[in-house]
Structure 1
Amino acid sequence: MTAIVSSHPATEHEGLNRVSNGLGFITNHIHNSRLVYAGVLAAIVVLANAWIEPSGLGAWLALWAIVFAVAALLTPSSKNHPGVIEQWLQSQRNARANEQMWQLAMSDHRVMADLLAAHNSHR
């Protein structure tokens, strides 16, 4: 009988890493899809229609004001000028990346030295 003994037990679950990387990939590609923007906008229109129960001109005007406001927030104006939601999501991604870099710097003195050198050279 053969037994394999590892002196370095795994600190992370490989299957969980694959699932999380896959979800991140899907999220990044879905996030940039115009079809997703259209689907979210359509869902909001349906919810607004059910909520307002349009029966008069004022209700229809309110419904379309909501539709155009959501469209303005969701859709980017161009590749160089992202929408409000995209800007917020980018700031969240940047904050997450900064936190990960800081955690790495706290555990590795070489990374911390590089960060301090970059900070001092920037002054």
Structure 2
Amino acid sequence: MALPAWPEGLNYKPLVSSFRVLEATRPPVWTEFEDGPPLARRSGLANRARLAYAIHFKTWAEFNTFRQFHKVTLADGSSRFTMPVHSPGVGCYPVRTVMIDNGVISAEPAGRGFIVSFTLIVFDW
């Protein structure tokens, strides 16, 4: 079954001031021992990153399109989907499989639209 795609024509570019790489890779798992240094190891083989994203939707219509995508298509943000994702230093937006961390988004008014913020988990980033 194909993954849902970011809505056609909807802004996908994050605000430069909001973009952050929170985790470039999965954090390692640490095991403490009674004697000696802790042991660190990979937490998984899947390559994924966590990015702070904020996207400016300039109109109420764009914001409502995103809300419906999040609520209906992604089942309250719980599903994976594909979208163009910012790649610093490359200057392009390759399409990647992503998901919204815990499905949590926040929105604040900005002019005639909204700025929507969320943490994006990007696979093979």
**TM band (smaller chain):** under 0.3
What TM-score does the superposition give when structure 1 sets the normalisation length? 0.21
Choose between structure 1 and 2 for higher RCO, CA contacts under 8 A separated by at least 6 residues: 2
What TM-score does the superposition give when structure 2 sets the normalisation length? 0.21
Higher helix proportion, which one?
A: 1
Q: Which of structures 1 and 2 has the bigger CA Rg?
A: 1
